[in-house]
Structure 1
């Protein structure tokens, strides 16, 4: 596995641990369909949360949240609806929410974590 991929995977692990520590129940990780991939699917306070994880070593290419532009946000919504359609027993009557966990630092295990709870 390439160092970049290992770094991203470590970031996703750290993000999942962060979410669990905040009371989230992780339902799915790296769920794939023809439209793409969802990093983390979780439930928190009755909401079905679709969580994108962005891990960066520095802000040379911008803050991790800056990677979520309008096009990416629309894609995440399509993926959220695809996941809900594939898991109707879990998704039924649960409102959907998009979230982003950003990690910034040279080591994903110690990187600064920021969590944007409601990506409109």
Structure 2
């Protein structure tokens, strides 16, 4: 006697090719986005260090959320949001910074300052937008004081 297990054939698209599982492709896309985000944050940190910033924290987490990078620019405490995109097809990375995200970042800064030894330092919010333009090339834009008037 042979044990047999029924296996359903993969669904096919209109061209007769096997259709990919939505669950798998969603999981792969999520992993791709996380990997892309990590690489973007690493590139942003290197970018800031080359410009003389001192990185204090990376991925600092609190109840309000996460600050990608917290750095010192001379005597100014800078909270940096990093946005990375694999292309500009769906918009530029900086366009993803909403009013809600700005408000959340301000809460994160308040909570950080409550638990930090930093005192009496000016605070600034920057955004680093990274758009890939090739396998080893990216367009980096540093929005200094991004939450200031006019943002």
CA distance, structure 2, for counterparts of residue 68 and residue 30 of structure 1: 17
Q: Larger relative contact order (C-alpha < 8 A, sep ≥ 6)?
A: 1
Q: 1:78 aligns with which of 85, 93, 107?
A: 107
Partner of 1:97: 124
User: CA contact under 8 A between 1:41 and 1:49: conserved in structure 2?
Assistant: yes
Q: 1:68 aligns with which of 86, 93, 97?
A: 97
* SS of residue paired to 2:78: strand
Alignment deviations for residues 8-52 of structure 1 (CA, whole Å, 9 cap, x no partner)? 100000000000001000000001011100000000021000000
Aligned CA-pair RMSD: 1.6
* Structure 1: stretches of 5+ with no match in the other structure: none
Shift in Å, 1:106: 5.3
Kindly report structure 1 stretches of 4+ aligned residues shifted beyond 6 Å. none
Partner of 2:44: 15
Bigger Rg over Cα: 2
CA distance, structure 2, for counterparts of residue 77 and residue 109 of structure 1: 33
* SS of residue paired to 1:2: helix
User: CA contact under 8 A between 1:11 and 1:103: conserved in structure 2?
Assistant: yes
Aligned length: 118
* Structure 2: stretches of 5+ with no match in the other structure: 1-29
User: CA contact under 8 A between 1:7 and 1:108: conserved in structure 2?
Assistant: no
Partner of 1:44: 73
